[in-house]
Amino acid sequence: MSERLIDILIDSFGKILLPGLAMTVPLTVISFTLAMGIAIAVAMVQVADIPVLKQLARFYVWVVRGTPLLVQLYVIFYGLPRLGVILDPFPAAVIVFALNTGAYDSETMRAAIESISKGQIEAGYCVGMSYGQIMRRIVLPQAFRTAFPPLSNSLISLVKDTSLAANITVLEMFMATQRIVARTYEPFALYCEVGLIYLLFSTVLTWLQRAGEKKLGKYGPM
């Protein structure tokens, strides 16, 4: 490794990490938060077996899971302006990542909700709880605990998927790296460097996931 390449890597580390902290992390957090709201709503609609809404929920999950994330980004950012809807890159990315992750996580939440014993729901009705109270106080807390590991994996995947936002001009880590590569002509080293930074972010989330699982495990079966 030449001295020039070492200097490039040292100089570029902060220039790549900064967009990661300023753009990749907020993009991930906002998108995942919205995705969880979508996932819970879609899962509850399907579990409640509301005729029309259930079919719409299934159609949404079918379309989103059956089409590539990159295509969804292009449709929202480059396609909607043809219909008169113009979005800035960041909100467009948030919408797409939230809808995409929400579709996958809704199936995780649906399975977790359906794993709860029907007897607990019936017991809730027996003590005078409404459907909403049963979901909020009995079902969802247990469902979240069951779904915690796969939801954590979904969050880690989302961190890496945000690299696709570079395709719609969001200045996150990957796009910052592309600009440095265009200037220095050192693609191999720089793409390895940004890969290591993504690995660092994912490793931190993995540690948090394990800590969360241990904490939940202390309470024993519910």
DSSP 8-state class, residue 172: S
Q: Residues 99, 62, 144, 161: is their CA dihedral positive or negative?
A: negative
Question: Given phi > 0 = left and psi -120 to 50 = alpha, else beta, which region is 171?
Answer: beta
- Alpha carbons 85 and 163: distance in angstroms, whole number: 24
Q: Determine contact, residues 171/26, Cβ cutoff 8 Å.
A: no
Which pLDDT belongs to residue 66?
Answer: 97
pLDDT block averages, 10 residues each, the chain of length 222 = 89 94 95 97 90 94 97 96 94 97 96 89 86 85 92 96 94 94 95 96 94 75 47
Residue 198 in tokens: 């993504």
Domains defined for the chain, CATH in brackets: 3-217 (1.10.3720.10)
Q: How many CB atoms lie within 10 A of CB 217?
A: 10
Predicted TM-score (pTM) of the model is 0.91
Which pLDDT belongs to residue 25?
Answer: 95
Which pLDDT belongs to residue 130?
Answer: 83
Query: Quick one: the chain helix, strand, coil %, rounded to 5?
Result: 85, 0, 15
Which pLDDT belongs to residue 219?
Answer: 53
The total number of residues shown for the chain amounts to: 222
